[in-house]
């Protein structure tokens, strides 16, 4: 007997992993949707695409979370008075990155499977008392005739109801009398689905500014901006960010810009530039959610050799995994690094940060913290949390009050945050920069008296 072949480990794309992380994020929890229901729907959602080998065609950053799908289904079911449907009714072409999602459905195996599924749905619609088996087709004894007549009466009484249920199912699954037609993966047709484009949308909108709205229907050309308009939009957003620093507005506009790129299937150097700029702005404001979405897309774009700054964002990924203590992703990341990557100064800096924390060398860590380039310092700000008590002990002051008075006497006002319960946090980066300037100024003056 031949030994069983070992099961191959499934390697999910980063976009799917990020989707799962967001699904379990407590901030995305919806009252009334239990964790168990969410997990079941999450498995159904990912499994549905995995069976069709189409998970790479999904726009995962914008795809509704499992709890959102459940909420929308329950609302729709309550409004229509019908039971909630499954994942097949939730998958919509607007969330697909390409047209490849239709290929699997046209294969012979897929048609057989869908036909079998449709027959199963019809079989489930028949009440248990109408199911027939071998025994029911055999001649019954006379003493069973009374029971059979009662069962037949029940079946006849419910036949009108059963037929109505079957009709509703046929309409929902678009089944004819022979039950051979298959349902589209995005569920029942909508009014505007006849207008759904077969390929990428080519936008005609000339507006530079457009608010972001999650797509619930196929996008129309008049609502989508073409590439030449999007380039003007990006230039405008960069200038507005420098002038106003209004993050809520900028983030909304960038998400709208990214959406227009996605529905038009635009993947080029400009796409990389958009995601890189949005990721940097998100890091500056400490918005790790948006940063992660951008980072996930950038990894896929860099794999297509579309340009950009892959070394910079590889360094950010290392620093982020240090913060999250995600050993699995960190090991995967380290395995992907080439010798050229490891010798790059930004990536080498990130690896040194990881090493200094692993060894507990905090003096080296804070030196690296001050040397961080690009947006790396903003990532390190997240996990550099120095209390006033730590600084008091490290610098040898008698108490926190004396230490605070010393900091303020050197011009470091407003660098201590009150966290409540007599806990004070020091904005160490601002303090470090201030004292580095004081040190440089002190040693820049040369007194030649008494020199030998």
Domain boundaries, the chain: 14-102, 221-360, 387-444
In 304-395, where does DSSP find H-type helix?
Answer: 310-324, 327-336, 339-343, 345-359, 362-371, 376-383, 388-395
The CATH class of the 221-360 domain is mainly alpha
Among candidate residues 352, 270, 353, 345, the one with its CA nearest the CA of residue 311 = 345
CA atoms within 13 A on the CB side of 187: 15
DSSP lists the bridge partners of residue 417 as: 425
Q: Which long-range contacts (CB under 8 A, 24 or more apart) does 82-86 make?
A: 82/168, 85/172, 85/187, 86/44
Judge whether 212 and 261 are in contact, CB under 8 Å.
no
Q: Classify 394 as helix, strand or coil.
A: helix
pTM for this entry:
0.50
Judge whether 165 and 125 are in contact, CB under 8 Å.
yes
- CA–CA gap between residue 23 and residue 38 (Å, rounded): 8
- CA–CA gap between residue 138 and residue 144 (Å, rounded): 12
Among candidate residues 252, 320, 308, 314, the one with its CA nearest the CA of residue 277 = 308
How does pLDDT run along the chain (452 residues), one tens digit per residue? 555 555 556 678 888 889 899 999 888 888 888 888 888 888 888 888 888 887 778 888 888 998 888 888 888 877 776 555 555 555 555 555 554 444 444 444 444 444 445 445 444 444 444 444 444 433 444 444 555 555 555 555 545 455 666 666 565 554 444 444 444 444 444 444 334 444 678 888 899 999 998 888 888 888 899 999 999 999 999 999 999 899 999 999 999 999 999 999 999 999 999 999 999 999 999 888 899 999 999 999 999 999 999 999 999 999 999 888 888 889 998 999 999 999 999 999 999 999 998 888 878 888 888 888 899 888 887 766 677 788 888 888 888 888 888 888 877 777 777 766 667 777 666 776 677 777 777 666 555 555 44
Q: What is the DSSP string of 224-278?
A: S--HHHHHHHHHHHHHHHHHH--HHHHHHHHHHHHHHHHHTT--SHHHHHHHHHH
């Amino acid at each position: 007997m031949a030994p069983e072949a070992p099961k191959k480990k499934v390697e999910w794309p980063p976009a799917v992993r990020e989707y799962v992380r967001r699904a379990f994020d407590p901030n995305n929890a919806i009252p009334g949707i239990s964790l168990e229901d969410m997990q079941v729907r999450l498995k159904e959602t990912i499994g549905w695409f995995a069976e069709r080998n189409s998970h790479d065609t999904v726009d995962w950053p914008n795809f509704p979370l499992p709890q959102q799908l459940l909420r929308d289904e329950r609302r729709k079911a309550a409004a229509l008075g019908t039971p909630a449907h499954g994942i097949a009714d939730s998958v919509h072409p607007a969330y697909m990155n390409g047209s490849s999602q239709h290929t699997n459905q046209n294969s012979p195996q897929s048609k057989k499977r869908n036909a079998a599924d449709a027959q199963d749905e019809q079989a489930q619609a028949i009440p248990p008392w109408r199911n027939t088996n071998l025994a029911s087709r055999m001649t019954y004894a006379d003493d069973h005739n009374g029971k059979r007549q009662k069962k037949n009466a029940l079946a006849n009484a419910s036949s009108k109801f059963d037929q109505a249920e079957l009709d509703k199912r046929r309409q929902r699954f678009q089944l004819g009398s022979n039950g051979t037609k298959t349902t589209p993966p995005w569920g029942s047709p909508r009014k505007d689905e006849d207008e759904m484009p077969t390929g990428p949308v080519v936008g005609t909108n000339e507006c530079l500014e457009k608010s972001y709205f999650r797509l619930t229907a196929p996008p129309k050309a008049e609502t989508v901006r073409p590439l030449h308009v999007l380039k003007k939009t990006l230039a405008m957003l960069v200038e507005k960010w420098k002038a106003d620093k209004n993050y809520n507005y900028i983030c909304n506009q960038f998400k709208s810009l990214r959406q227009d790129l996605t529905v038009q299937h635009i993947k080029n150097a400009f796409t990389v530039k958009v995601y890189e700029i949005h990721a940097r702005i998100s890091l500056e404001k400490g918005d790790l959610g948006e940063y992660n979405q951008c980072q996930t897309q950038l990894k896929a774009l860099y794999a297509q050799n579309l340009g950009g700054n892959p070394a910079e964002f590889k360094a950010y990924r290392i620093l982020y995994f240090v913060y999250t203590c995600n050993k699995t992703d960190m090991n995967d990341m380290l395995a992907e690094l080439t010798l050229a990557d490891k010798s790059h100064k930004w990536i080498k800096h990130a690896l040194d940060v990881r090493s200094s924390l692993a060894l507990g060398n905090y003096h080296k860590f804070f030196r690296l913290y001050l040397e961080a380039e690009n947006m790396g310092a903003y990532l390190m700000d997240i996990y550099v949390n120095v209390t006033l008590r730590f600084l008091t002990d490290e610098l040898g002051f008698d108490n926190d009050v004396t230490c605070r008075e010393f900091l303020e006497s050197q011009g470091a006002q407003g660098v201590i945050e009150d966290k409540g319960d007599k806990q004070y946090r020091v904005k160490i980066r601002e303090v470090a920069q201030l004292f580095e300037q004081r040190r440089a100024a002190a040693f820049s003056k040369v007194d030649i008296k008494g020199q030998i």
